Structure 1
């Protein structure tokens, strides 16, 4: 058994040897097949489930038996992603990767708008430009079902144990995560992680210094200085810009309810619903900008967070929707009218929250330009 399995078995992705067993586990899970049928047939699910589940299991075994390695899985997923992007976007573009040497491993710290699409799009761009795909940090709050856990670990996801209780257990979980990130980078594996816990539902992207302190824990345990250790990680800020957020209305409603009621009670499978909507919903144009390695100009987590934010704000692609939402002159009147119509279909009381969501990236862009 290799060192990675011994040290990080609780959180690591599946290895190639584990793929066939994990695939069979997913196919055999009645909740997984039921979820596919429910998504495909909606209200007709109840009467069709018993008939279709065995047929679906047979179909999946026939098509998934060729999945023997993690690379096989990623190649299979990329085909579905290509179809999803074709039908739900007006094109995906990226910039900045040409300036990053391929022989390095990178810690991609990314703004966070969509649970599944953010890391999927980063890996899509990496693959398209000849880079290896990244291992993906995912919170265990999303892994409430065994089939979901297996699916994510098949696709190079590793687990962030947010559910750890008590100071001692939390410290152990964070130390393990920090060590795993360093171990992966030393192995030549890229890492994707969001700049803070949870999506930026108000569109205000800001790196949480606590994430950077977690990165540092492995170096701190060895007595290394913060800046010297963080320079070794090859941190690259990534800005993802969606012209339209498929979950914008749901996010605006949550922000409204928090403002009105002082809190928000998330439904049991709300995160899963958000994942599905993010994948299947219309997104317009999408741009990803990969920044430069942040290797100087900081000595504290807060200073490093500011440098990451600056690159994300500069790299964010501004669309007419952002200009319209901020009340600024728009570069494309037709696109602005399309966004205005989108706003008009939302409840009047949540429209201001949706506007703010789209305006904040432009405000942050202006802030960096002024500085």
Structure 2
């Protein structure tokens, strides 16, 4: 298939481009160190030979990523599963999910799609702010990622958004692949997951026909991702205080790298992915003459309800909600032993926060809120 050249700056590598990309990666000292850490039992020559045998991006994912993720889940989680019963594994979708972990949200989805019977994984939307080095950019494009350009002026942003949208429509309609994109730019640090209308507006810039028809052409599936424990929770709490206390504070690339490393290697407990029904049929119930502002608001609200309803909740979520509000609304969902264990966990996370002057009550409240919001939003969605 010939891919329009306008997509060249953002698309994943095509199979014929992989050999050159592999050689660049294998020649990079940092990449070789990463591979020796990820695959310590495999000699470098064997890694190189295995990589050169991969003829497609999916080959690479199955040869390297699937096994790595399987081992990672065994070491750093208590299991991961996905409920895909409401979708057809023979079709292709745009998965729009809440965003918990910079790397693993989409990476684990790839593994779960294979485990659920899909014959392909998904193309992954990744912000260019995370591409801290040339070898990382090469690696993500080998791994079926397409690049979301950040930080442009208004005119350039509109051009970039249209290009991104048109590429997503091309992936679904012509490449016959799945897509993953977060429901908002960046992670919801307080776990109050809300779909940004700007993401939906971007999606509707490509395709043909009305706004409803354009969204329908992407076959959007709301995807709820639930982690029992967020390895980056203490880093997120620290960021809240820094943003509050330091005027103009912004994360650096080093902060992003630390979050990626911590998210990958840290303790996660149980993990669950839940696919809501594709929204195509629901979109058909909307009034096509609805003002665009109301339409995007309605779609965002529907996405949020589906994601919130799809959460899998754990004792810590209910305990945090009760502690945050000072009541016992969810007391029947956990034991006193659960509560003691969770309070000990939060105390341990507090101890990890490295700040010159720690606002202990504020940081404690932020940590509780991260775990409470999924329970609060879920209860509101399923009423």
TM-score (norm 1): 0.89
Residue 225 of structure 1, CA deviation: 1.6
Residue 99 of structure 1, CA deviation: 2.5
2:374 to 361, 365, 370: 361
* Native 8 Å contact 1:33 1:56 kept in 2: no
Aligned to 1:12: 11
CA deviation map 1:265-297 (0-9, x unaligned): 323322122111111111000011000111324
Aligned to 2:355: none
Residue 63 of structure 1, CA deviation: 4.1
Gaps of 5+ in 1: 41-54
Aligned to 2:201: 213
Instruction: For 2:23 and 2:54, locate their aligned partners in 1 and report how far apart those are by CA, in whole Å.
Output: 10
Instruction: For 1:36 and 1:74, locate their aligned partners in 2 and report how far apart those are by CA, in whole Å.
Output: 14
Aligned to 1:78: 66
2:98 to 94, 107, 111: 111
CA deviation map 1:289-333 (0-9, x unaligned): 000111324451111000000000000111101011111314244
1:341 paired with 2:344, answer yes
Aligned to 1:122: 109
Aligned to 2:123: 135
2:215 to 230, 234, 247: 230
* Native 8 Å contact 2:169 2:217 kept in 1: no
Go from structure 1 to structure 2 and tell me whether the alpha carbon gap of 1:20 and 1:333 turns closer, same or farther (over 3 Å shift).
Answer: farther
CA deviation map 1:160-218 (0-9, x unaligned): 1113x323322211111000000100022111000000001111000000000000011
* Native 8 Å contact 1:28 1:57 kept in 2: no
Go from structure 1 to structure 2 and tell me whether the alpha carbon gap of 1:104 and 1:284 turns closer, same or farther (over 3 Å shift).
Answer: same
Aligned to 1:281: 266
* Native 8 Å contact 1:256 1:353 kept in 2: no
Instruction: For 1:86 and 1:12, locate their aligned partners in 2 and report how far apart those are by CA, in whole Å.
Output: 32
1:241 to 199, 202, 226: 226
Aligned to 2:277: 292
Go from structure 1 to structure 2 and tell me whether the alpha carbon gap of 1:202 and 1:262 turns closer, same or farther (over 3 Å shift).
Answer: farther
Partner-residue secondary structure (3-state), 2:253: coil
Aligned to 1:325: 320
Partner-residue secondary structure (3-state), 1:289: strand
Gaps of 5+ in 2: 323-329, 352-359
CA deviation map 1:232-275 (0-9, x unaligned): 22110000000000000000111122233355332332212211
TM-score (norm 2): 0.86
Instruction: For 1:264 and 1:332, locate their aligned partners in 2 and report how far apart those are by CA, in whole Å.
Output: 40
Instruction: For 2:24 and 2:55, locate their aligned partners in 1 and report how far apart those are by CA, in whole Å.
Output: 14
1:256 paired with 2:241, answer yes
Aligned to 1:309: 304
Residue 159 of structure 1, CA deviation: 0.5
Partner-residue secondary structure (3-state), 2:270: strand
Instruction: For 1:21 and 1:103, locate their aligned partners in 2 and report how far apart those are by CA, in whole Å.
Output: 32
Aligned to 1:184: 171
* Native 8 Å contact 2:221 2:277 kept in 1: yes
1:22 paired with 2:21, answer yes
* Native 8 Å contact 2:82 2:116 kept in 1: no
* Native 8 Å contact 1:107 1:190 kept in 2: yes
